[in-house]
Structure 1
Amino acid sequence: MSTPTESREEAIKRLNERASDLEAATAPKTSEHLAAQAVTSQAYKIIAELIGGVLVGLGLGFIVDRFAGTTPWGIIGGTLLGFALSIYMARRTANRLMAQAKASGVEPKSIPFDDEEDEER
């Protein structure tokens, strides 16, 4: 099969179209997209604080059990302390994020409660 020959102008036009498509695909992201990424990263940070606090408490409780010989109590106490610490850290992070949002003038959106979904079932 032979490819049809195209004129130089058609080839340049096609090349320009492909270049503009590539430019549109690699254009900088909008501010809404960047804001959504920031919110997502903060949510992952809070989740990491919750999980990390419990795991650190669990590890410290295990170490206490190993050296003190108080087999179940170190792990139980360490897990509870780690959980309390992780809740405190997550709450502190959430309060800081709310203060930043209020300072920037962002109003939280209220989601109305919809009772109609429950009545249909």
Structure 2
Amino acid sequence: MPQTDESRDEALKSLDARLAAFEAKRTPKSGVATQRAMGQGYRFLGEVVGGVLGGLGFGWLFDSFAHTAPFGLIGGLLIGVGVSTFVAIRGAGAWAKTESETTAPKPDVTDKTDD
């Protein structure tokens, strides 16, 4: 038995409404969190690049005064990489901790044992 066009139209409208509700639930509420995460990523990148370049600069400066080329440059590079990595990891850990405290749901700590 063939169906009428009205029931098909109603089914399409219902499907469109469910699809719109699904897309609304799936899209982020605001781009603020994404922008904040991107800013934090650029900050970490700046810390790493700045640490390496700063170490190279101090190594070059040490070489120019102590006439120990290339050992000061190599030492400054290694020190810069180490310090910038340490600072970036420490900052990422602190940022992850604050983000998890603000965005994650709190765990349920009710006692579920039968006594």
The interval holding the TM-score normalised by the smaller chain is 0.5 to 0.7
Is 1:39 the counterpart of 2:32 in the alignment?
no
The alignment's C-alpha RMSD in Å is 1.5
The aligned counterpart of 2:54 is: 56
Equivalent of 2:94, from 64, 84, 96? 96
Task: Give unmatched runs, 5+ long, in structure 1.
Answer: 1-29, 108-121
Shift of 1:106: 2.6
TM-score, structure 2 normalization? 0.64
Shift of 1:31: 5.5
Deviations 1:76-107 (A, max 9, x none): 00000000001001001100111101211437
Deviating above 3 A after TM superposition, structure 1's stretches of 4 or more consecutive aligned residues are none
The aligned counterpart of 1:106 is: 104
Shift of 1:63: 0.2
The aligned counterpart of 1:74 is: 72
Letter of the structure 2 residue corresponding to residue 106 of structure 1: A
Q: Give the Cα–Cα distance (whole angstroms) in 2 for the partners of residues 82 and 40 of structure 1.
A: 24
Shift of 1:35: 1.1
The aligned counterpart of 1:10 is: none
Shift of 1:32: 2.1
TM-score, structure 1 normalization? 0.61
Letter of the structure 2 residue corresponding to residue 97 of structure 1: W
**How much identity, in percent, do the aligned residues show?**
36
Given the superposition, is the C-alpha separation of residues 44 and 32 from structure 1 closer, same or farther in structure 2, using an over 3 Å criterion?
same
Q: Alignment partner of 2:31: what SS?
A: helix
Q: Alignment partner of 1:71: what SS?
A: coil
